[in-house]
Structure 1
């Protein structure tokens, strides 16, 4: 695990040489409060994609695969039927949009402040998600974040969704970082952590504000596990000893 020592006054990212921070959305910077699960349930009910499974089993799979591309999750639930998965994914995006319209999306308290602090310290910030661009942008619009972050990516923008490394690598390419060791990845799921590890990011961090617990995040390979995103600047400036 990562161990740091207090440096002299230092901007966020400087102590560890970080040039880009890749942040997950739902559960990491955007409060979930069960919205993703509710959208999955509405999509399943409207399309029958998981009708062959007990709902408890389907929901367990959804929870275990939080952070992955939604069409990949629905493809599994549909026993590999990509057409059925595509219909279910569209229904999910519609349902999530309904929940956004009902005020179901808020930031993780302090997330915007952290993003601005990172940028003020010369660190670029990318938001990545398993949502389609239309849903991603609806969330950003609802939060007033459309002009906040430097990069926002969905699986279709990068190739494959998490846990593949594509989203992190695409963000690094767009940010023109000097090396992957200058990239930090932060997310609330094992898929987020595995994506960062597979991409070769210099720092991969889990947070406990979303879907997965400390055990799952550490098992996936997290260098550090924090309570939430607000502890990230302290970690990047070496003012916290993370285990």
Structure 2
């Protein structure tokens, strides 16, 4: 496993734990973060041994969002010519979007384990994950509004499908903080725990349960869920029919059926 500046990556029992590792900076997202996350999730996607990902933050906080130093660099892209400045800024924003698109498009399920601050760009990140879990004292905020800008790396596009349009608008327009229990109530997170240790233990148990399933079935399920965000029901039914025409021929189906009938735990190939 290569060394990363902004992350720590471990692979154990089919579970890749990807930890934002800048605790002294409240895991703020510096320039290395944005490039390394693409590299990491490309590795996750290509590595058959990885069945599921747990995304976490080292220390007391998940992430305080984009590093202010990186925002200062973006300000340097602004010159005298409006057209050229806009083109440079647009290119930079699209680069940042690509980092979280890599998480969203990953074929493996991604579970976010959130404690402490989850602010600004961190909301964009967790919105690109499959499921989110938190401690009760976790603090969520679409902070961009208080910085005089609209969130531009995925929050406004993905969050309405997670918590609903009206609640997303309230949080985006006010920037107010949401704690763990409310986050669960509005559907931002699936479950909350009292402590970070309990959170990580609980999320790892869920990850292990997913990792024990057929990887063919898991990938097909994620692909269909993702596809349906942007398509009609008829399109989705047509797609799953074509997809499963191939995937139902996998040995995983026979293994799962045999295990079910014999009440044994199935073992699937990577």
For the criterion TM > 0.5, the same-fold answer is no
The TM-score with structure 2 as length reference comes to 0.28
* CA radius of gyration, larger in: 2
Which is richer in helix? 2
Higher relative contact order (Cα pairs below 8 Å, separated by 6+ residues): 1
